[in-house]
């Protein structure tokens, strides 16, 4: 396998100072541009504005400014000149200049360490700190992903007596969303007195990413009430968010509003709606919509077909997916690399490993050059299929442009294949070459170390991450807690979890699930129950795994009141009962003489909702009843009769189920 190091730099947010090391090629100026830096540097203590206002023949252009910045003798001079140019009438810096200034400011932060230090440096060369100074710094830090410095700059605006305008609030909102504080971001949004079009775009984009249906509704409605006409891009964002949430009814309502505003149906909009149907496994409707799209005169592009093929595979209609692939291979549009990457990944996730590998092996014949995403999809296929040994043969002569995506996939593969030492070595090489690891890099190494029971090394890496970075992802906390539990260090795992609770670190439902399992394993049942209740209090909804963990615990303790409460919660949340819990509950009903009919009523309700395990499990209970029971013979017969009726009866009437439940007890 041939490796080449790419120039893309990624990072997660350091706790002290965020730095982005942007490596730019410093090209020489080919035209005889006036060297503005020479005049600027020789008279730093003079009135810069007056000097350049006298030189009327100098007309600022983005190319001239960019070239001058490249030739500045120091980063401080470059930043000062950048600030001066921004104050000139009718001149606005372009994105290329802002990208360059990210590197400049990152290097200056090594020297000055704080935003206040940067301001002091600018003042030392004659710059007066104004509101615009803060706005420009905010934009540079924002563009460079230096989120801690965005917050610091925003706070300094108030200290200097400047009231943040809508642009500043837009920046702070976007950063709050990106660091996982959507609640605070929405608070800033609601307190923004004069929201503009960018305000709504930022909010809607971020709410769509985190799939906040209520937030999307409220923000979109507020936007319309203020008289803003959403552009096609905004409609795409809203529709995409609704379709990902499976809310097609709301999506069609938004589509109606869009048509009312005179916005035409673009190929992107059609594709989003087809994707929404595919996500609900309504592939027949998705195909019909594709035909309607063609009749309307809008030709599907390769993204549309990729979406449909992915939908077919997700709906277990693989032959239909290959039929569509055959059609576009013969009639067009020509399949691209992205389509094949999606095809390999989708087939692997649906356990069609041989098909996925066949597609990969056919790429050369199809004249498709693999990229880092192809490599990642291949590694994911090998990990899911446990065919780790195939990698050397499959990548023989394989060329890949190494970037963070490829490295993360390889780290995950090495960890799962049982090579944690190689994963650590690759991780160190990434850091040495300036390819800053992100949360997925850390997860790959941590998972490998925990799986190999090298818990000490995993804990040291975890502690180092906590010291160096802020906003550590919940998954990272979960992996180390789970690793400690599996290594028999339950008490240590619980301490790690409680520390994260106290420090208000990011924790999700999986984190709570793992911690509760650890508490139950060491007999700390009361603490597990308290933690479960606390999780609900902070707004985290239980998932199926954690509900079944708690139900199992209550059944073992014969805490029948809690069992009934948990069954009701599972009904409310739509959580399916596990097979083992069904056995436990049946046994609990048989040995309990306390309100057994209530259990049966809840079981029937769960059956109506499709929340009970399959018929095979239930038949075992009916045909192999317990020999010793504590309930009356009448109740016992009714219990088995009720279970057999509700699980295997020919009728599906919920009213009849209710009648049966009422007859028991």
pLDDT at residue 22 tops 60:
no
Strand partners, 4: 401
Nearest of 238, 245, 246, 243 to residue 263 by alpha carbon? 238
The span from the CA of 408 to the CA of 12, in Å, is 14
Q: What is the greatest pairwise CA distance in the chain?
A: 106
d(CA 181, CA 173): 9
Identify the pLDDT of residue 326: 92
CA angle 563, 569, 573 (to 5 degrees): 145
**pLDDT of the residue at 438:** 82
CB neighbourhood size of 282 (10 A): 17
Token pair 């059956």: residue: 607
The residue written with tokens 């490596």 in the block is 23
pLDDT of residue 621 exceeding 60, the answer is: no
pLDDT at 408: 87
pLDDT for residue 342: 93
pLDDT at 304: 95
Q: pLDDT at position 26, please?
A: 32
Contact 166, 199 (CB under 8 A): yes
Nearest to 80 by CA among 110, 56, 49: 49
Query: Residues in the chain, how many?
Result: 665
Task: Give the pLDDT score at 663.
Answer: 40
> Cis peptide before 425, with omega less than 30 degrees from 0?
no
CA distance 224 to 256: 14
Cβ atoms of 402 and 3 within 8 Å: the answer is yes
Burial of residue 612 (CB within 10 Å: 0-12, 13-18, 19+) is buried
What is the 8-class DSSP label of residue 388? G
What integer best gives the mean pLDDT of the chain? 79
What pLDDT is attached to residue 628? 44
Distance in angstroms between the alpha carbons of the first and the last residue of the chain: 71
pLDDT category at 640 given cuts 50, 70, 90 is: low
pLDDT for residue 475: 85
Strand partners, 14: 469
Closest by Cα among 594, 546, 554, 597 to 570 = 546
At residue 6, the pLDDT reads 36
pLDDT of 278 > 50? The answer is yes
User: Does the pLDDT value for residue 37 go beyond 60?
Assistant: no
pLDDT band at 615 (very low <50, low <70, confident <90, very high): low
Buried residues in 415-424 as b, exposed as e (16+ CB within 10 A) = bbbebbebbb
Calculate Rg over the CA atoms of the chain: 30
Task: Provide the β-strand partners of residue 401.
Answer: 4
- Per the model's pLDDT, the better-predicted residue between 506 and 185 turns out to be 185
Q: What is the pLDDT of residue 17?
A: 21
4 sits in which H/E element: strand 2-5
Q: Rounded to whole angstroms, what are the CA distances from 400 to 5, 97, 136, 312? A: 9, 31, 38, 29
Residue 476 confidence (pLDDT) above 80: yes
Would the pLDDT of 339 be above 90?
Answer: yes
Mean pLDDT of 636-655: 46
* Residue showing tokens 């949340």: 573
Using pLDDT thresholds of 50, 70 and 90, give the confidence band for residue 657: very low
Distance between CA atoms of 205 and 210, rounded to whole angstroms? 9
Tokens describing residue 352: 């069609």
Name, of 15-19, 274-278, 469-473, the range with top average pLDDT. 274-278
The Cα-based distances of 305 to 226, 244, 275, 297, 340 in angstroms read 38, 18, 10, 16, 11
**Taking Cα atoms as reference points, which of 336, 335, 378 lies closest to residue 358?**
378
DSSP H helical ranges for 9-74: 36-42, 48-54, 62-70
Lookup: tokens for 168: 């500043």
Q: Of the spans 35-49, 56-70, 610-624, which averages the highest pLDDT?
A: 56-70
pLDDT score recorded for residue 591: 64
- Can you tell me the distance from the alpha carbon of 562 to that of 327, in angstroms, rounded to the nearest whole number? 57
- Which of 513, 510, 511, 508 has its CA nearest to residue 496? 511
% of the chain with per-residue pLDDT over 70: 81
- As a whole number of angstroms, the distance between CA 401 and CA 549 comes to 44
What average pLDDT does the segment 402-410 reach? 84
Residue 48 is predicted with a pLDDT of 42
Rounded to an integer, the average pLDDT of 533-543 is 84
CA-to-CA distance for 209 and 199, rounded, in angstroms? 16
CB 387 within 8 A of CB 416: no
- What pLDDT is attached to residue 318? 93
Please give the Cα distance from 660 to 649 (Å, whole number): 12
What pLDDT is stored for residue 287 in this prediction?
94
284 sits in the region (left: phi over 0; alpha: psi -120 to 50; else beta) called alpha
Find, among 254, 332, 336, the residue nearest to 294 by Cα.
332
The number of beta carbons lying within 10 Å of the beta carbon of residue 295 is 8
- Number of helices followed by number of strands (H, E) in the chain: 37, 2
Running DSSP on this structure, what letter comes out for residue 261? T
For range 494-517, the mean pLDDT: 84
Do residues 618 and 612 lie in contact, with contact meaning Cβ atoms separated by under 8 Å? yes
Distance CA 488, CA 285 (A): 51
Q: What pLDDT shows up at residue 229?
A: 85
Round to whole Å and give the CA distance between 602 and 622.
Answer: 18
**pLDDT range class, residue 285, cuts 50, 70, 90:** very high
Higher pLDDT, 634 or 398: 398
Residue with tokens 């470059």: 78
Looking at residue 72, what is its pLDDT?
84
Q: pLDDT by residue (tens digit) across 342-369?
A: 999 999 999 999 999 999 999 988 888 8
**Rounded CA gap, 581 and 612, in Å?**
10
Please count the other Cβ atoms lying within 10 Å of the Cβ belonging to residue 327.
11
Question: Mean per-residue pLDDT for 294-308?
Answer: 93
Mean pLDDT of 316-341: 91
In the predicted model, is pLDDT for residue 264 greater than 80?
yes
How far is Cα 257 from Cα 252, in angstroms, rounded to an integer? 9
Is the pLDDT at 186 greater than 70, yes or no?
Answer: yes
pLDDT at 616: 52
CA distance 266 to 304: 12
């Amino acid at each position: 396998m041939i490796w080449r190091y790419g120039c893309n730099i990624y990072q997660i947010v350091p706790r002290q100072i965020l730095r982005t090391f942007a490596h730019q090629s410093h090209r020489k100026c080919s035209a005889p541009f006036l060297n503005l830096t020479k005049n600027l540097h020789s008279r730093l203590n003079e009135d810069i504005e007056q000097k350049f206002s006298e030189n009327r023949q100098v007309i600022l252009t983005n190319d001239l400014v960019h070239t001058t910045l490249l030739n500045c003798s120091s980063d401080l001079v470059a930043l000062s000149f950048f600030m001066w140019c921004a104050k000139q009438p009718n001149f606005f810096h372009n994105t290329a200049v802002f990208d360059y200034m990210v590197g400049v400011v990152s290097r200056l932060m090594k020297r000055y360490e704080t935003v206040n230090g940067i301001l002091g440096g600018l003042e030392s060369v004659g710059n007066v700190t104004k509101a615009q100074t803060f706005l420009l710094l905010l934009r540079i830090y924002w563009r460079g992903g230096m989120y801690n410095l965005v917050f610091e700059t925003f706070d300094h605006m108030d200290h200097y007596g400047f009231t943040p305008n809508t642009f500043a609030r837009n920046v702070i909102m976007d950063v709050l969303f990106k660091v996982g504080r959507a609640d605070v971001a929405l608070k800033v949004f609601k307190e923004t007195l004069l929201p503009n079009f960018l305000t709504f775009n930022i909010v809607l984009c971020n709410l769509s990413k985190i799939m906040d249906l209520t937030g999307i509704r409220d923000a979109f409605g507020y936007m319309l009430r203020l008289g803003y006409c959403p552009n096609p891009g905004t409609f795409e964002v809203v529709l995409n968010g609704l379709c990902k949430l499976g809310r097609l009814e709301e999506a069609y309502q938004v589509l109606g509003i869009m048509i009312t505003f005179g916005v035409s149906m673009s190929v992107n909009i059609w594709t989003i709606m087809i994707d929404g149907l595919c996500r609900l496994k309504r592939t027949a409707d998705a195909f019909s919509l594709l035909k309607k799209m063609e009749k309307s005169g809008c030709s599907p592009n390769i993204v549309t077909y990729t979406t449909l093929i992915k939908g077919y595979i997700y709906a277990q209609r693989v032959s239909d997916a290959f039929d569509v692939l055959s059609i576009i291979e013969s009639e067009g549009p020509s399949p691209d690399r992205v389509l094949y990457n999606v095809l390999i990944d989708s087939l692997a996730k649906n356990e069609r490993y041989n098909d996925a590998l066949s597609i990969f092996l056919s790429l050369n014949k199809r004249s498709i050059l693999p990229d880092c995403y192809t490599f990642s999809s291949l590694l994911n296929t090998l990990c899911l299929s446990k065919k780790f040994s195939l990698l050397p043969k499959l990548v023989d002569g394989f060329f890949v442009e190494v970037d963070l995506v490829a490295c993360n996939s390889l780290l995950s593969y090495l960890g799962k294949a049982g090579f944690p030492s190689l994963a650590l070595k690759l991780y160190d090489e990434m850091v040495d070459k300036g390819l800053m690891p992100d949360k997925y890099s850390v997860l790959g190494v941590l998972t490998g170390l925990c799986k190999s029971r090298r818990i000490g090394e995993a804990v040291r890496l975890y502690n180092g991450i906590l010291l160096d970075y802020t906003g550590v992802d919940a998954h990272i906390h979960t992996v180390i807690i789970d690793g400690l539990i599996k290594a028999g260090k339950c008490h240590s795992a619980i301490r790690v979890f409680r520390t994260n609770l106290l420090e208000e670190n990011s924790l999700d439902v999986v984190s709570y699930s793992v911690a509760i399992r650890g508490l139950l394993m060491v007999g700390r049942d009361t603490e597990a129950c308290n933690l479960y209740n606390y999780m609900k209090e902070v707004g985290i909804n239980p998932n199926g795994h954690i509900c079944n963990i708690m139900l199992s615990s209550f059944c073992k303790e014969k805490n029948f009141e809690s069992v009934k409460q948990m069954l009701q919660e599972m009904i409310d949340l739509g959580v399916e009962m596990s097979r083992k819990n069904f056995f436990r509950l049946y046994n609990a009903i048989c040995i309990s003489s306390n309100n057994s009919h209530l259990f049966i009523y809840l079981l029937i309700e769960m059956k109506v909702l499709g929340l009970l395990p399959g018929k095979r499990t239930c038949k075992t209970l009916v045909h192999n009843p317990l020999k010793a029971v504590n309930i009356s013979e009448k109740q016992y017969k009714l219990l088995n009769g009720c279970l057999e009726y509700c699980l295997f009866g020919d009728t599906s009437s919920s009213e009849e189920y209710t009648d049966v439940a009422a007859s028991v007890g």
